[in-house]
Chain A
């Protein structure tokens, strides 16, 4: 279990590696980091502080920070759902921080809700919803890093190459 300082280091490092910024509203940033610490204490993993966790890891993996929806949300709205990670633009103008729509699909929310309190077992795993059936895979042409997501990452987390250095990965031939 990480304490607040360790959690801060974790998100700072993640922001830096992905070319994001942390929430420019200091009070909100404090609350969000505290929320992550609390959730890790409660569930064993840092589930999104602004979403209801099921407490069953399989069902919360998509909302465990950094969540699966972050990259698409920062790209479209300049911030992730809870506002922990923001774009350069929002970092420079915090007035742009505000509520954004929930990208997590309804059927996933419903499945997670039904799993709440049931604990972890094999049956639950086999019923776990797949949210990335048709997801693209992007290959960094500089270092070969593969990323499964809708759009190429803004920066390669390994070699720091920019998004334009990524191409669609068609599989091994």
Chain B
């Protein structure tokens, strides 16, 4: 089973993955911002996982963010990790991709 969802976008130079919680307002803000920036990304709602997949994805998240808080955005396999809705930082890292 694969619970990761892909959101299409024309800005697809970077590999962007976001760990989210389905009920979290700040996670929604991050998704909305990426959509507005037309960035292609994948997200996974960690509260909706079960069994082995849950274990595997939580371990992956823990590698990037020991607190496992959401939203956690991982860019290019950890080259940048942005924890929380940090608007300026997201713009800085993903904004000027040409």
Residues in A lying within 8 Å of B, measured CB to CB:
28-29, 31-32, 34-36, 38-39, 49-53, 82-83, 98-99, 102, 106, 109, 113, 116-117
**B29 beta carbon closer than 8 Å to chain A:** yes
Question: Are B29 and A28 closer than 8 Å at their CB atoms?
Answer: yes
Besides A28-B26, A50-B24, A52-B21, 14 new A-B residue pairs in contact (Cβ under 8 A), listed by A number: A31-B25, A31-B28, A35-B24, A36-B23, A49-B23, A49-B24, A50-B21, A50-B23, A50-B26, A52-B46, A52-B70, A99-B84, A102-B67, A117-B50
A129 to B98, alpha carbons, bound, how many Å?
50
Knowing A50-B21, A53-B47 touch, does A83 contact B26 (C-beta < 8 A)? yes
A-side contacts of B68, CB under 8 Å: 52, 109, 113
A102→B69 contact, CB < 8 A: yes
Q: Check B46–A99 contact: CB distance below 8 A.
A: no
The contact of B25 among A35, A52, A102, A117, by CB within 8 Å, is: A35
Q: B-side interface residues toward A, CB under 8 Å?
A: 21-29, 46-47, 50, 54, 58, 66-70, 83-86
Give CA–CA (A79, B84) in the complex, Å: 14
B47 touches A52 (CB 8 A): yes
A98–B70 CA distance with the chains assembled, in angstroms: 13
- B90, chain A: closest CB distance, angstroms: 12
With a cutoff of 8 Å between Cβ atoms, the chain B residues found around residue A109 in the complex are 67-68
Among the listed A29, A35, A106, which residue makes an inter-chain contact with B23, where contact means beta carbons less than 8 Å apart?
A: A35
Question: Shortest 4 CB-CB distances between A and B: which pairs?
Answer: A99-B84, A35-B23, A31-B25, A49-B23
